[in-house]
Amino acid sequence: MLFRITKEGPAAVVGGSYESDMPGFGGVLSDDEILAVLAFIESTWPERERTHQAEISRREKEGNR
- SS3 category, 55: helix
pTM for the whole structure? 0.74
Tens of pLDDT along the chain (65 residues)? 889 999 999 988 888 788 888 999 999 999 999 999 999 999 999 999 999 988 988 888 888 76
pLDDT in the model for residue 1: 82
Distance CA 56, CA 39 (A): 15
Count of domains observed in the chain: 1
Domain range enclosing 37: 2-63
Residue 25's pLDDT is 95
Contact 33, 65 (CB under 8 A): no
